[in-house]
Amino acid sequence: MSKIKQLLLLSFMILPVFLLSGCWDVEGLENRELYTAIAIDGAEDAALEDRLRVTVQIPLIKNILPPAAGAGESQGPKFYTISVNAKSVGEALNMINDQVSGVLDNGHVKLVLLQEDYARGGVAQELDFVTRIPQLPKHANLLITRQTGEYILNQTSPKDLLPSLDIYQQLQLKNSGRSLAVAAWEFVKKLDEPGQDPYIPVLEYNEDNKTFELNGLAAFRHDKLAGILDTNQTRFISMLDHRRNDSGLEIPLPGGREAVFRVVKASSRIIPQNRQGSNFLITLKVHASISEFNFARPKLTKKEMERLQEQAARFVKEECQQVLSSIQALHADVLLLGLSCHAKYGKDFSYVDWREKYGRADIDLEVDFTIDRGEAYF
């Protein structure tokens, strides 16, 4: 067949396909409602069939771009929220899609908020939608809210940003210390794996300062919220769980003094001592730099440095042991001790009744604290 005929045949085959098509997936961005946060609360009347109250925060795109130079005035609210009652999150999203003028777009979800009280009842089925919608970012961050998610999503941020983006940015920039970011995929993975319990940071709206604050960590026992750890405990969890701690560390010293450390890097190793999972040794190596003494002492001698390191190690050990006791009491294996046991003993280790065994396990802690920089510096 000649080349021209081939080309004609090919065009004849391809062209109608295009002409008959309707660009099914095409929808301009201006016609999409990109919701950036979704909050799942329990309905006010729990007896109702529609037991969930789902709220989404949708940016108002007409107010997104800054006003032209010289316009002066603020543009108006940057977002609006829609709340519905439904049996499931999927149903709620369908209902919200019917209410908005554009097409609800799942591709830019940054935050998934779960109300604390509701989370105590279990969240596995509520989070099923996270992994079923391919366009939904798997790294959307989960947060537990003390107030209702609906209330939180209706508050504004002091910065000229969408509140959900503001909170997300805070989590991404820090992701350490008090502000641990937990992605949705991580949470769901821990639900699927035996013996692994997730944790989620806690978000609160401070009405006095009009700011969003990350205060603490919610520890889960499987998919049920077991308890909340405070901000101080959160820092030590982050050290034990191989995270950075940019928020620093304050070590109380005798005589009412205090040493403040920054750039605290911790690496921990969980060493199971037996295959039953009843005894663990956790070694924690901490490196930090002094940022302040609250007494005038620009230069430390070698002996003073060593004493300070010992005092810091002791303090960290005490605090960590308290935290470990707290999470054991909750029977929430957020540090994945069970996984460490399985990693060492394989099939010889059994996850049966693991949470009970975990609550009774003896956990020894060894802390090695090293001060990287002790000199006064500017």
Partner 1 sequence: MTFPEKTSLRPSMYLVLIFTAIIGYDMLSNPLVSVKALGNSGYFAPLAAAVPVIAIIIAMFALQKRFPGKSGVQCASLIIGHVPAVIINLLLIIFWRVFAALSARDIMTLVSTQMLLKTPLWFFSTIGYLGIMYLAYHGIESISRFVAFTFIPATIIIIIVFCAAFPYIDIRQLLPVLDFSITDLIKGAFSMSYLYFPLILLFLITPYTKKLPSARRFTMAALALSVLVFLIQNICAIGIFGTSGLNRYTWPTLEFAHVINIRYIALEQIGVVLLTVWLVLTFGAAAFNYWGTALALSQLFPKISYKMAVLILALPTGLVLLLPQNIIDTRFYLLIFERWGVLAFFGHPLILWLIAVIRRQGKES
Partner 2 sequence: MGFRSRGGMTPIGPDPVGNAANVAKALGRATDLVIRKIPRDDCVKGDAAADARDGSSSVRAVVLFLEGLADEEAIRRHIITPLLADAATAAAAAGTATAIAHFSAANELSALKSSTHETLEPLIDALLEGQVLLFADGCHTGLAFVMPGWSLRPLSEPPSEKAIRGPREGFTETLRENIAMVRRWVRDPELRVTKMQIGTRTHTDVAIMYLGDVANPDIVAEVRKRLAAIKIDAILEAGYLEQLITDSRTTLFPLTQATERSDKVTSAILEGRVAIIVDKSASAIIVPTTVNELYQSPEDYYYDFWLGTLLRVIRLIGNNLAIALPGLYIALAAVNSELLPTQLALNIAASRLGVPFPILLEVLLVELTIEIFREAGLRLPSTVAQTLGVVAGVVLGFAAVQISIVSNATLIVSVTTAVASFSGPNFQVGISWRWLKYFMILGGAFMGLFGIVAVGCFIVAHMATLQSFGVSYLAPWAPLQPDALVDAPLRQPLWLKFRRHSTWRTKNRRRMGDTRGEDNP
State the residues that interact with partner 2 by CB under 8 A: 3-4, 7, 18, 21, 23, 25-30, 32, 34, 36, 59, 61-62, 64-65, 105-108, 110, 135, 137, 165
- The minimum distance between CB 11 and partner 2, in angstroms, equals 11
Say how far apart CA 263 and CA 265 lie, in whole Å: 6
The alpha-carbon radius of gyration of the chain (Å, integer) is 26
**Using CB under 8 A, which of 21, 101, 209, 301 touches partner 1?**
21
* Cβ-based nearer residue to partner 2, 13 or 26: 26
Note the maximum CA span of the chain: 97
Amino acid at 229: L
**What secondary structure letter does DSSP report for 188?**
H
14 interacts with partner 1 by CB under 8 A: yes
Alpha helix (H) residue ranges in the chain: 3-19, 89-99, 116-119, 128-132, 149-153, 163-174, 184-192, 231-240, 302-329, 337-345, 354-360
Among partner 1, partner 2, none, the one that 30 touches (CB under a kind-dependent 5 to 8 A) is partner 2
Among partner 1, partner 2, none, the one that 70 touches (CB under a kind-dependent 5 to 8 A) is none
β-pairing, 141-145 vs 52-59, is unpaired
Please report, as residue ranges, which positions from 302 to 361 form the binding site for partner 1 (by CB under 8 A).
Answer: 336, 339-340, 342-347
- The minimum distance between CB 134 and partner 2, in angstroms, equals 9
192 interacts with partner 1 by CB under 8 A: yes
Would you list the DSSP string of 309-356? HHHHHHHHHHHHHHHHHHHHHTT--TT-HHHHHHHHHGGGS--TTHHH
* Cβ-based nearer residue to partner 1, 169 or 291: 169
- The minimum distance between CB 342 and partner 1, in angstroms, equals 7
Interacting residues with partner 1 (CB under 8 A) = 10, 13-14, 17, 21, 24-25, 107-108, 131, 134, 137-139, 172, 183, 185-186, 188-189, 192-194, 196, 336, 339-340, 342-347
